[in-house]
Amino acid sequence: MIEAISIYKQFEGKTVLEDINATFNNGATNLIIGQSGAGKTVFLKCIVGLLAPDKGKIIYDGRCITTMKEKEKITIRREIGMLFQSAALFDSMSVLENVMFPLDMFSSMTYKERLARARACLDRVNLIEAQDKLPEEISGGMQKRVAIARAIALEPKYLFCDEPNSGLDPQTSLVIDELIHDITKEYGITTIVNTHDMNSVMNIGDHILFLSGGKLAWEGDKTQILNTENEQLNEFLFSSEILRQVKEQAFKHK
């Protein structure tokens, strides 16, 4: 479980995050949605400790990361898997080497065990046949899947994804979404996903936070989101015609 308590962040006098309180539970996919510039990435960076909030606390299962020394932060980071917007695979290493990398650095397993673990992770994302390829030789969607395999190699307790679907077609997005969702459930991970993909919201949104102008404007799950009264959220959600129709139909059935 991760708790964010009253997070504030400013950049050069401009307030980007204002008094954000949230709790993220184990085994749930927590989505952070909001317009471009709403502060999603900044919030995620505050949570993982890549940015320090001006005020407030981030607590990982009772451990407060904001007041921690760099050394202690590293122990928590080893329990974190992170998926970057650009996959961020190491381009000088093969797919298998990428997945093995965290194991090489941090595990005390033998080479054989590491190899087996890396293969198992690649198998989990259905990419075992691409293990000897270089990242540049596989498609964007495959790269994302390799990044997921790398992120779960050390069996993380926490998984963070910044726009995992950007630049992917809807079908591939679905594959990635479900992979993240399934892995979260399988291992009981605390997962936080930044997204503005409404398909993801409807598919895997166990717990949804809506950021607007740096404030937490709405919180709920995917069944509640369609019937919300929140004007800003409605404006954000139903800018897409299809969802508007879905909502209207839902009302008709009632």
Ligand X SMILES: Nc1ncnc2c1ncn2[C@@H]1O[C@H](COP(=O)(O)OP(=O)(O)OP(=O)(O)O)[C@@H](O)[C@H]1O
Applying CB under 8 A, the residues found at the interface with other proteins are 48, 50, 73-75, 77-78, 80, 82, 84-86, 88-91, 101-102, 104-106
Binding mask 27-56 for Mg ion (x = CB under 5 A): --------------x---------------
Residue 221 has phi, psi (to 5 degrees) of -120, -175
Q: How far is the CB of 242 from other proteins (least distance, A)?
A: 32
H helix intervals, the chain = 40-48, 70-77, 95-106, 111-124, 140-152, 170-187, 198-204, 222-225, 231-237, 241-253
Q: With respect to Mg ion, which residue has the nearer C-beta, 41 or 212?
A: 41
Residues in the chain, total: 254
Q: Side chain identity at 53, as an amino acid letter?
A: P
Query: Which residue lies nearer to other proteins by CB, 78 or 215?
Result: 78
By CB under 5 A, what part of segment 199-228 binds Mg ion?
none
Q: Tell me which amino acid residue 50 is.
A: L
The residue assigned the tokens 């479900």 is 178
Closest distance to other proteins from the beta carbon of 124 (Å):
19
Residue 102 or 141: the one with the smaller Cβ distance to other proteins is 102
Q: Are strands 2-11 and 55-60 parallel, antiparallel or unpaired?
A: antiparallel
- Which residues, at least 6 apart from 201, have a Cβ–Cβ distance to it below 8 Å? 31, 33, 195, 208, 222, 225
Q: Which does 196 bind (CB under 5 to 8 A by kind): Mg ion, other proteins, ligand X, none?
A: ligand X
**Smallest separation, CB 139 to ligand X (Å):** 22
* Residue ranges in contact with ligand X by CB under 6 A: 11, 16, 34, 36-42, 196
Which residues form the interface with Mg ion (CB under 5 A)? 41
